[in-house]
Structures are given as structure tokens and as C-alpha cells.
Structure 1
Amino acid sequence: MRARTASLHTDLLVNLHAGTYFLDAPLALDGQAGDSGENGHRVVYQAYGYGSRRQEKVVVSGGRVITGWIPGEVDGAWRAEVGSLETRQLYVNGRRAPRASLSPGIPGSVTKTETGYVTDSAAPQSWQDPTGIEFVFPWVYPWSEARCRVAEITGDAQSTTITLAQPAFDWARELYAATWVGDQPESPKSPDSHRDPRWDGLARPGSAENSVSFLTEPGTFVLDRSTPGNHVLHYLPLPGEEMAEAEIIAPVLEKLVVGRGTEEHPLHDVTLRGLTFSHAGWTEPDGPHGFLHFFANAYYGGGELQKVELAEGNAHVTVPAAPRSIPANVEFTGAVRVALHDNSFTRLGAGAIGFAGPGRDNAIVGNRIEDVSGSALTVTSGTGTRIQQNLIHHIGREYHGSPALRVSDAREVTVAHNEIHDVPYSGIVVTGGDRAARVQIIENLIHRTMTVLADGGGIYLNGPQGTSYADGTLVRGNVIRDTLTPYNFGLYTDFGAAWVTVQGNVVHRSDTPIVLRVTPPLENVTFLDNFWDDHPADADTPPSGVTLAGNKVLPKDGFESALAADPAGAAILASAGRSMPSAAPNPGQAV
């Protein structure tokens, strides 16, 4: 390939025939090594027969088939020795098998200490492989969920002391130190939390994962690391599942595709189409730092913490000065005119797709993204990215604070005609910044968001989005339904959002359709000709930075029929979602 790209006179195609390609290393595409298209032509990797009825099914996998299963110690369970394999996911016959878990995370009467927890229950002392156990803290902030490993369990007949791994627990105690004013949302995991102005999401874990002692639910698994270098997978089959016939795959690689370029030498004119990308993982949360989620796909990995005041000194949250991001299993940095068309991204253990760095004019069109531990797609910086006609659902399977799509500090990004559903946090998050300008969120269908966490929405924006309405963010023609958990805003402009036009959208069955008073306040935000099913708070006396005009409140009961009877509302409904065919490139000439 590299020997031919310099003299291209037509597109150069690589056809992959049907099958599963188990990679030993990521597919590395380098802008300085001859992997780009040249002379106005592209390098295209595609499934054989792409775009025709003869298109073959091609899976690019970062996994390993697990064999050698024998009956295990737990009744009905099976075990397989896997050497030094580290994995947080297991896929059985194409299905994600959850890790075995226990809820609540610690039985008995629990007290938090500086190093972990004390309980009056002796049960944790019998848990197998205690250092492999991970505690999960949902609603540690309303929009966050943290994970920390256990370091040691000791005790006697009267009590048990559980010590958590460091530095994760010390960091967590520093990070999740928030003071609130007034009532807060009631967490389903912490039913009394709204009664106390001090939010303590670390009061006790919501669940514990990954011990053979928890292996009671069919279809779940455990990775036992108690013997270094001789790890053992345990799996409890579903009824009727025959282990002799099952295909069981664990991820080995953390990257499937790595595309690298620089501003001077970008990776450019490369297309991937008609392929399926599966079975890549991410194991950093297993380490001593845990996974301390902060916001969206960002987490705290150490370093300076800053206090952000929320209400004139009476409330604050603590945030990392330099947060890290959940990586993507397919990632591009410094990419220009890279296109992902009509691919499938599924059974992935981090984020699915990431574009970062000084890229431009990239396209993610017509893809199906599902069953992903983190976000479907993250665009950080860059210019001219086009995200269209994608079906995105059941993402954030493991890291519940992950939005489906996140656009951060980017310019001229278009997110249009996508369908997004079944997301544990927000559907689309747009984070402004110094370089942000001209982002368009247009005619998407977004439903069943906020299925786990709170304080988000179907579409969520924060920060300055430009310098004027002309180069700010436009949110137009989207349909947002079923924003599920308490304390959410279907269409959420938050934390100093500025230069935003919200026009001709539909919001139905959210806790609250929009919010007008936030800290820092909204500046130059206009809500125009929208439809929703509730009267927004403060709509009669909006703050000075907000303009409302032509918005309609339709009755909750009969909302759909009332919307359909309104010509403008019916037009919005008809246009939202994947209503247009994907614009796939021409097949070109095969090699």
C-alpha cells in the first residue's frame, strides 16, 4: 500500500473478505508513512462487495477466543485459565456478559472511614479474591459514577473493615467534596441524600463487582486475579447455553485503529466503510487510580483540583484542573478528510470513536454504534467534522456518565439526522471553549436518555459557544423524548452557556423541558418557536441573558396528537432522525 500511494491516479481500495480478523496489534495509519491518499484520491478499506447485496460481513476484532472451559467450584459455573489476561468484559455468543455483582455493595450498617468502610456484617470476610473486587458509586455527583478497587478486608465476628486501594480513595474524597444549597434530587441509590445540604456520594457503594462469591446470576462472569500470572475466568451460563458450543471472546487490545497525523503532516483522505469493529477493551480502571468520573467522558487521574463556586460562595463543586478522557477504541489524531461510512462499532470496552487534534473535514456518516462501555463518539477540537445519519444506542454500558456524542471546543461541527436512544446520561453534549464556533445540532431524534444518572438532558450545552449569534451554536429541529431520571432538563443550557440559538425543537416527557437560571448565568441564549409539554420555570420573568419568543406549551396528555395537528410541529417531527440516506463515497477501483 505504502509503495503505491505516492503515485495514485484513482482511489486505492483494500477489500476484506468475510470473516473475523483477530488483530495482534492495532491497525496503525500514519500520516508520515505513506498511509494517506494522494493526488486527490483516497485509500479505502472496505468489506468486499460494499454497497451491494453481495457485501460480506467483516469483523475487525481486538479479542481472543477463550477455550479450555471446565466445570468450576460454583454450582453450574465453568472456569478457564487465561494466564495474565486482564479484561473487564466478556462476550458470549455476541452478548455482553455483565460482571457478577452484589447490591448493595456492603451489607449491614456501614460507616465510611478515611481509608474505606466499617460494617457490622461479617459477610465480606468470606468474599473470594477481595483485591479483585471493585466498588461502584452511582450518583457520587448526580451526573457521575466512580469505581474503586478493594485493597484489603479484615475483621472479626462483630465487624468488618474494608480498606480501599490508594491513591484512588484519597483522590475520590478530595474530588467529590461538594457543598449544596437547598434540596437536591433524590437519588434512587441514596434515598435520603436530598435531605442533607452536604452531598456525600461516597457514603457507601451502590454495588460491588467481580468476586466468585457474587456469581449467582446466570449469564455473568468474574476474572479472578488472586494468583498473579494465572488468572481464571469464571462464567455462569444462561439456561440452555451449551459451553461446548459457545463462542466466548475477551478483549485483548485497547485499540483497533490508530490514525496519527500532525498539523504539518496529517493523515488524510482515508475511508473505512462497511466494516464491524469489536472486542477492544480498556483496563486502566482496574489499577490503583480507579475510575473517578468527573463529567461526560472526562475523569480525574491526579493533579491539581479546583473549587468552582456555584451560588455566591454558599455552594461549590471540586473539579480537576486537567481532566483525562476515556480513550476511544478507534481513534484519529491530526486527521483530514478521514471518513467512517456505514460501519458497525459494537462490543467495545472504552469509547467507540474519537477525533482529536488539529484535524478538519472528517465525516462519520451512516454508522451503527451500540453496546459500548463509554461514549459513541468524541470530537475534541478540529474543524468541519460532519456527524450524520448514525444510529447510536445502548452506550455507556459500563461508564454511566458517558454521553452518546460529545463535541468539545470544536469549530463548524454538524451533528444532523442521527438517532440516539438508551443512554445512561445525556444524548449530545456540546462543551464550549476559546476555539468553539458554529456548531450545529440539527434534526436529531433523541429518546430514552438519562436512564441512570441525573442533572443532564437529551441535549446538554455549557460554556461560551462562540462570540456572537452568527458564530455560536444552533440547536434546531431536534425531537427529544423520554428524559427519564428525576432532576433533568430535556434541552439543557448550563454553566455559562452563551451565544446559543435553540429554535424549533420538540421536548416531551422530561422532568423539566429547559432551565433558564444557572450559575454562571446564561448569556445571549435564545429559545424560539419550540414545543414542550410543561411551562418552564421563570419563563414569565426570564433572566437578562435569555430571550424567549414563539414557544408553545402543549398538554402532556395528548401531546403527540396536538403536535401533529400543528403544521410547524408536524414538520419538526417528520424531519428529525435518520430521514435521509447516508452519502457513501463511490466504490472506486479495487486493488
Structure 2
Amino acid sequence: MSHTREVSVRRKGWWPAAAGSAAAAALLLSGLGTSVAQAAPPEKDSVYYASPDGRDEGQCQEQHPCSLEHVQGVVRHEAAKGKGDVTVVLADGTYRIDSPLEFRAEDSGRDGHTVRWTAAEGAHPEISGSTQLSGWEKHDEAANIYVADTPAGFETRQLYVDGVAAPRAATKLALTDLTLTATGMTINNPALAYLADLPDQDRIEFESLGDFTDRYSPVQSIVGSTITMAQPAWDNNTWGWDTVQNSLLAESTWFLANSLSFLDQAGEWYVDPDAGKLYYKPADGVNPQDLDIELPRVETLISVGGTYDAPVSHLEFSGLTFTGTSWLGPSSAEGYVSQQNGGYLKGVYDYRPADALANCSRGCEPYERTRNTWFQMPSAVQVSAADHITFARNTFRNLGSSGLGIGNDDNAVLTGIGLGASNIAVTGNVFTQVGGHALFVGGIRADAHHPSDPRMTNQDILIDNNTISHVAMEYQDTSGILSTYVTRAQIVHNEVRDLAYAIDTGYGWGINDPGGSQEYLNRGYYKYNPIYQTPTTLKDNLIAGNLVHDIKRDFADSGNIYNLSASPGTVIEENYLYKVSGVGIYLDEGSRYILSRHNVLSGANPWVFTNAYSAGNGTNDNTLQENWYNSGGAQMPNAEARNNRLIDNVRVSGSNWPSAAWEVICAAGVAPEYRTELNANLGGIDPRCETVAAAETR
């Protein structure tokens, strides 16, 4: 089948033109991702060495390796000469850092040369922001709770036990247990009367899982049956859409978390910063002294960012593990006020109506003013104002926010200079046990969709052959891969599994597309925001050859491959989705000009949904052609009026896929050379995929 061959070629960085698509524009990624496999460097290339116990002096030679901080200074000096590639070889072991490693313009390769930070042959170096906890003692014999010392005043939202993110102590609530009010909650269930007697009440958090958001609000105090919530988190969580008191489609799920009194399940933990203690409840018969329990100390591990005049360029990271971070933003009075997929409200909105709890719980005109002011979740590894940056065969594990952020808004990066990412390659990496997104590309504010400086444009981003499993662990409404306003993103041959949302592209609900959206004109959005007459930077993207499976039904409003807003020239093709919940291909508000073809969808319901119910919301001119599915049908309201077309799609019975569909199934996901123990065994599905299942793992 010709299209299968096209996708396999894309692994090598070539993007064939899609018929009738603006994606025929030449992809500017030539050369990206090839440097890892290059031949031996020429004589002028320089090699330096680092080790976990390396010195803070010297020239960092193999016999006398240096610390990361010292070798960085040596490399800067050498790279500035522009006489060849420069390589830093990291020996095996754990490099524990207590502040971010910052890569700026002076860390760049010069004159076409590259600076590489790579693992020594056979080594698995870890750059860690955590410290290992020890000295455990029994705190409560009957309850099997242990305690260890932490630095006084130390706060964290994460704890990692033998490489797995451990849950904070929490208790689930019934919706009848509480009545939500403008200032907090009233306790209805007498069994919860003990809450008023708890110490450290201002450390308790209320979590609400809605239809598409996961929100956190901190408690201020509890007196009698009255819970007063901290501000501004409570005000911000009780207006807009999918609010804590009025989720969109189905009932919310509520929890109280972060109190020692909730520590009743094996694997849970609680930290008391004032006392400098951390409490942990292991499984019966397990001594935590025998476990690797990691306490994260930093929020950002790696910051790659320059300026638009002097971007960071020609850097490569390969064979490394990035691990051991937290994100403390939600622990403040701001909480975490999710709006969708890592975008959140923060601060005081003085135009929020006094009656918002009742009258703005499903949107209102004042709320529409907020949309271009949302913040973005930060990432443990950040790239902005940068070009020709490569991440190859790394592992991103045990991270408290998102894993790798590329070209996010300025509020989500350490440098304060966001966007501006181009020619970035993310190839063959593993993402697991991550709090938010695995990969988060693009911004959501005005400069992301209509850059005031063309150098802000995020473009030519290659995301290929990555394995993403068990991410969005704490912020469950985030997706495995999110690419917002990006030009020429290739999201190809990745495997995404074991989370609620898989691959999402676009943002903005069509409100920033040419001519705006009638739906948001009706809501009053344009009283406060411009109607643009020019397109956004979202275009010419490719989502192809991905393997998506074991997607959880944690939210009522769910999609597996999902898009928001106009994306001319974008193609979704030859992806295989199985064991998925909810919608297979979800074209939400404003989605236009997208071609979805030759995808295989097993178990989705419906297999496609185009959100064109509302008149004038811009979900128009999409084509779904020659896809195969075995359940769910198509949900395409007003299809003819909106020119959303179904062409020659085929429903099959069970797994009786035709041979062309089997070609897509067996070619989906990462190439054999990138496979790990986390990848699915496609050989167990059909003998025709045995070659995939038998591939060597690393």
C-alpha cells in the first residue's frame, strides 16, 4: 500500500507531499536526527568528559572527568572557536543537581558544528533533581506508617518510589458529602466532622475531575461544618466551563488530598514541611529502607533558551535520563485552575461577577475576556528561542510537570522568552511516570497564533519514534503529545498508551482564525479581543503512523487524536488505534481543512466526531476518506451544510481487517530499533506483525 511506504520513509526525515494539500511545502528538517548515527568525527572535533564525582577544575579529559557545571564552561570556550563539533561524554551514574542546567546562546554549536551531550558507550547517566531519602523509622506500628527527615521548610508534590510516582494521601468524596458555596464548602456528611479538628488545614487540597479538566483548590481553614477555600484559586475554579460545581456532561469526581489523616493506603505519602518530616505507608512486609525513594528538589532540570536575536542552536542531547522534579505552582493559593490541556487561570480577575458561582458556571461574557491571558504548565526540560536542537534516545522519567516543553509561552519557561522554536527533533525517546504531558509544543497566547515578531513562530518540529506510557499522572487532563499553534509539525510513528488523552493538535476553538467564530461572537468574546483576518501559525502538520492504545475513560469528553481550530494542509493518516475509550478522531470547534485517511480504529465510539452542532463555530471542510473501523459509527452533525465529507470509509466485523489495513496496523508505532519493554506486542494481534514483535529491545 503506497501510503504505508510513505510513512516508513518519513522516519528518515522526508515528508512526501500530501495530494491536494498545502503540506507539499518543503519540510525544512533536512539533517535533523542524523547526527546520532554519524561516522567518527573529523580530527578537529573535541571531546570532553564528565562524571557524577567529577572535579570542578581542569580540562575534563577521560582520565580526569569534570562536573557538569565545570565541563559546560570548558565546552563554551571550545565551541566559540567554531573549529569543529564538540562532544561531552557522560559516564554512568546519577548527576544530582540542585538548580537547573541553563543552556544559552554561548552553549551553541558554531559555523554549522554541533555541541553534543551524550552518554558514554554502554552507560545510562541520569541527570536528577532529587535526593534519596533514608533513615526511615516506624511512626505508627498499627497503621504501618514510616517517617523520615526532610529539610525544614521543604515542600514537594511528588515522591518517586522505585521509579514509580507515588500518590499523595487522599480520600474520595461523594458529591452529596459537600455543598459548594461562593467561599468554599459546607460539610453535609457527619462522618467528615473530623476535618475541623485536623492540623495543617491549609495544606489540604480539593481535587475535582470534571468532563475534561483536572483542578486543584487549596483549603484555607475548616471551622465546624464550614470549609473556607484559599483565593484566588476558588474564585477561578468556579467560573468558566467544566467548573468544579457544574461539569459539562457528567458528574464530577471529588477528592480531598494532602493530610496525614488521609494516609491509609499502601504507597501513599505525606510531607510536613514545618516539622521536616515525610510519612510513607509501604505495602505490608516492605521496609522503605530497602526501596529507592526519591524526593525531588527542583522544578526545572534543563533550560535551553536564548533570545530572538541570539537563539541557542545546534545542540544535541542523547542517551541521557532526565528525572526527579516537582512543580509547586498548584501548592500556592493559586491552585491549579485547568481550562484545557495544560492551560490554566492564575491571578485575580477583577471583572469576575459577584454571582459567578451560579451564573458563570457554564460560561458567561466576562469569562470570555480571560481566554488570551491563560498560563501554560511548565516542563522539566524546556526549549524556546532555539533552533536545530535534538533529543535522541533519552528517557524522561519521574517528572512533576510536563516532560519536554518546546516553544511554549514566555510564562512557562525559565528564561522568560518563549516561543521561537524551529528545527527541533525529538526522536526515539521514552517518557514515563510524568505528571503532565510527555511532549508539549507551542504556545496559546496571541504571539503564538499571530506572532508580533516572525522569529517567534514555532515551526519544523519532528516528533518521531517516541514511546509514551503512564504520563499525565497528576494532571490527568493533559495529553501524551500536545502541539498547539505550530507550522509543519510531524508527529509520526510514536506509541502513546495508558493515559486519558493521546495526541492533541491545535488550540483556541477557532476564535483566532480569519473572520473569527460566530459562536464566540455570540458569547461576547470579541468585545475584548480582536477578530483576526489573517491565518494563525497552525498549518501543514502531519500525524501519521502512530500507535495509540489502552486509553482510559477518565473523562466524559474524550478523544484520542484530537484537533482544535483551522489547520490547513494538515493530514492525519495511517494511525492505528485500539483499546481506546471515547472518540477515535475528534475534530472539535473550528477544525477546518483537515484530511484524515487510511487510519484503523478498533473499539472507538464514535470512530469520528466533528463538533459542528453550533451554527458558525467553524468546524467545516474536513475530509475523512478510506478509513477502517469496527465500532461506533460516525457522529457528524450538519455534515453536508459544513462540507464535512465521509468518502469510502469501511466498517469491518471484529478484527477482519483487509490486507491494506493490516499494513497500517503492523507498521504503526516506533521502529524496531527504538522499541523497549514498554512497547506493545503487535505480534500477539496477528502473525503478519511478528517481525515487529520480535524486534530487539534496548
Within 1, Cα distance between the matches of 2:116 and 2:636? 53
Match of 2:198 in 1: 127
Matched, 1:169 2:169: no
**Matched position secondary structure for 1:568:** helix
Q: 1:427 aligns with which of 499, 503, 508?
A: 503
Within 2, Cα distance between the matches of 1:173 and 1:527? 38
Within 2, Cα distance between the matches of 1:39 and 1:349? 37
Matched, 1:218 2:266: yes
Q: State the one-letter code of the partner of 1:21.
A: Y
**Matched position secondary structure for 1:39:** coil
Within 2, Cα distance between the matches of 1:178 and 1:24? 37
Matched, 1:350 2:422: no
Q: State the one-letter code of the partner of 1:350.
A: S
Q: 2:315 aligns with which of 270, 289, 294?
A: 270
Matched, 1:5 2:79: yes
Q: CA 1:513/1:22 → structure 2, altered by over 3 Å: closer, same or farther?
A: same
Match of 2:389 in 1: 338
Within 1, Cα distance between the matches of 2:279 and 2:652? 53
* Structure 2 unaligned residues grouped into runs of 5+: 1-74, 354-359, 408-418, 443-456, 513-535, 676-698
Q: State the one-letter code of the partner of 1:124.
A: L
**Matched position secondary structure for 2:463:** strand
Matched, 1:232 2:280: no
Structural mapping, 1:178-217, within 5 Å = 185-186=249-250, 190=251, 206-217=254-265
Q: CA 1:503/1:217 → structure 2, altered by over 3 Å: closer, same or farther?
A: same
Please state which structure has a larger fraction of its residues in helix: 2
**Matched position secondary structure for 1:404:** strand
Q: What are the Cα deviations for residues 381-409 of structure 1, in whole angstroms up to 9, with x where unaligned?
A: 51111000000011100001101111111
Match of 2:663 in 1: 571
Q: 1:136 aligns with which of 204, 207, 213?
A: 207
**Matched position secondary structure for 2:380:** strand
Q: 1:70 aligns with which of 120, 124, 137?
A: 137
TM-score norm. by structure 1 comes to 0.85
Q: What are the Cα deviations for residues 302-355 of structure 1, in whole angstroms up to 9, with x where unaligned?
A: 365899xxxxx9975755321111100000111111000000000110000011
Match of 1:196 in 2: none
Matched, 1:373 2:435: yes
Structure 1 residue 541 displacement after superposition? 5.8
Within 2, Cα distance between the matches of 1:477 and 1:81? 52
Q: CA 1:275/1:303 → structure 2, altered by over 3 Å: closer, same or farther?
A: same
Structure 1 residue 128 displacement after superposition? 3.8
Match of 1:14 in 2: 88
Within 1, Cα distance between the matches of 2:154 and 2:633? 54
Matched, 1:58 2:125: yes
Q: State the one-letter code of the partner of 1:81.
A: D
Within 1, Cα distance between the matches of 2:120 and 2:491? 29
**Matched position secondary structure for 2:589:** strand
Matched, 1:118 2:186: yes
Match of 1:588 in 2: none
Q: State the one-letter code of the partner of 1:149.
A: P
Within 1, Cα distance between the matches of 2:321 and 2:185? 44
Within 2, Cα distance between the matches of 1:180 and 1:371? 30
Match of 2:306 in 1: 261
Match of 2:579 in 1: 482
Structure 1 residue 105 displacement after superposition? 6.7
Structure 1 residue 545 displacement after superposition? 2.4
Match of 2:559 in 1: 457
Q: Percent identity?
A: 26
Q: State the one-letter code of the partner of 2:200.
A: D
Q: What are the Cα deviations for residues 516-575 of structure 1, in whole angstroms up to 9, with x where unaligned?
A: 3424142211111111123213589644321221111123xx2x2x11xx1221221122
Within 2, Cα distance between the matches of 1:292 and 1:130? 20
Structure 1 residue 263 displacement after superposition? 2.1
* Structure 1 unaligned residues grouped into runs of 5+: 50-54, 191-200, 308-312, 467-471, 584-591
Within 2, Cα distance between the matches of 1:316 and 1:78? 46
**Matched position secondary structure for 1:510:** coil
Within 2, Cα distance between the matches of 1:502 and 1:26? 41
Q: 2:586 aligns with which of 485, 492, 511?
A: 492
**Matched position secondary structure for 1:174:** coil
Q: CA 1:416/1:116 → structure 2, altered by over 3 Å: closer, same or farther?
A: same
Structure 1 residue 428 displacement after superposition? 3.1
Q: State the one-letter code of the partner of 1:436.
A: L
The question of whether the paired residues in 2 share the 8 Å contact of 1:257 and 1:329 is answered with yes
Q: CA 1:382/1:169 → structure 2, altered by over 3 Å: closer, same or farther?
A: same
Q: State how many pairs are aligned.
A: 530
Match of 1:364 in 2: 426
TM-score norm. by structure 2 comes to 0.72
The question of whether the paired residues in 1 share the 8 Å contact of 2:158 and 2:400 is answered with yes
The question of whether the paired residues in 2 share the 8 Å contact of 1:143 and 1:425 is answered with no
Q: What are the Cα deviations for residues 163-196 of structure 1, in whole angstroms up to 9, with x where unaligned?
A: 1111111121223477999x9744xxx3xxxxxx
